[in-house]
Structure 1
């Protein structure tokens, strides 16, 4: 049973989400103190966090930043606002998805299924380590390491990188990537993929690797392989 932390101050909506998710055997926990979201997150150790943007005292963006200093747990934002910048901001902060209120519960459940299956199933594959451009990719720890240091990626970031380097020097279409990342692409904005890839590049830039992820306009993305010569 997956444990879900639901950070939602609307008591009616919280109760309805909890009932609906319980029907799918999800164990949903709320927040008792909206000033201590991180402390409750650390204590609960959830498998996924659903968080509203508009919350008492601090907004969801603040708590997402704070949670990300402790964990790369999947995070899904809920928002009643219709500003495109909210979605972009959530992706830049490392959220795995963004759901606009009001939403259909089938959409919420489909997205949760897809995220949890992707995050907690693909790491069971036999291959745990991969080398790429002189760096070591650890799929189990979600880390990339080279002579410049090490970075830890979110679940979406490591999955995108995995898709690209497994097909290195070949273009992976945007459609294929969206289908792999999100089960029902009808509910995914094309911009969501762009934001996720750009965020991955920015993280890889810390190791001077971002330049090896290329955009092929109108087609998709490509991970190139740097050739290393040894004496």
Structure 2
């Protein structure tokens, strides 16, 4: 069952959308606190987000940028603002689609279904170049998601960068300096503790999908990923 995170401050619209979409076997989680949307997003770990623009405190464009800093989860804006500029801003801030209120429920469902199929379903077959696979461990490069034996976990930006590096150089030791340079960007300070925290989180997410002890510490050198889930390379 695909999870949808619904960020809508009108309780009546939110309830109607939730009831309608659940008829199509989606699990819909409605945002509760509009100043902690990013924290709720991490807890829900959704497959898709429906995001209003006019929200208390910070608008939908702000929250879209915040989510995009850690995830490529598809985002559909749903807003009463129907100007062309708003739609342009939605796309430029990382949105995947835009629906204007008042909306037709069938149109909303059709757009959700289309994106879900493209990202996660039958049409995703055409995106083989955007997939890394080693002995059944799949790293989805667009969705920033890992999958193993039908178990999945969403990765943050840093976790994704680290895992891709480990999978690209399986069984090779990657130095802490090398990994820190990969995580560094101009907007976020990265130090040795940041690396340790992200390695710990990545190990936990791998364990959650059934892969144990694959990222190993090499004293005085760094880290390496070994194939503990399939045939030894």
Same fold (TM over 0.5): yes
C-alpha distance 16-125 of structure 1, shift in aligned 2 (>3 A): same
**2:93 — aligned with what?**
93
User: Equivalences for 1:28-47 in 2 at 5 Å?
Assistant: 28-47=28-47
**1:128 — aligned with what?**
129
Query: 5+ unaligned residues in a row in structure 1: which ranges?
Result: 131-138, 144-151, 153-231
TM-score by length of 2: 0.55
* Cα offsets for 1:34-63 (capped at 9, x unmatched): 000000001110000000000000000000
C-alpha distance 22-126 of structure 1, shift in aligned 2 (>3 A): closer
User: Equivalences for 1:34-73 in 2 at 5 Å?
Assistant: 34-73=34-73
TM-score by length of 1: 0.56
Q: Distance in 2 between matches of 1:43 and 1:32?
A: 12
Query: 5+ unaligned residues in a row in structure 2: which ranges?
Result: 132-138, 144-156, 158-233
User: Equivalences for 1:145-164 in 2 at 5 Å?
Assistant: none
Q: Distance in 1 between matches of 2:6 and 2:33?
A: 12
Residue correspondences, number: 137
Give the C-alpha shift of residue 31 in structure 1: 1.2
DSSP-derived class of the 1:128 partner: helix
Give the C-alpha shift of residue 125 in structure 1: 5.4
Q: Distance in 2 between matches of 1:84 and 1:104?
A: 19
Give the C-alpha shift of residue 85 in structure 1: 0.5
The structure having more radius of gyration, on CA atoms, is 2
**1:115 — aligned with what?**
115
Give the C-alpha shift of residue 119 in structure 1: 0.6
Root-mean-square deviation over aligned CA pairs: 2.3
**1:140 — aligned with what?**
140
Give the C-alpha shift of residue 25 in structure 1: 0.4
1:2–1:27 CA contact under 8 A, matched in 2: yes
Query: RCO greater where, 1 or 2, for CA within 8 Å and sep 6 or more?
Result: 1
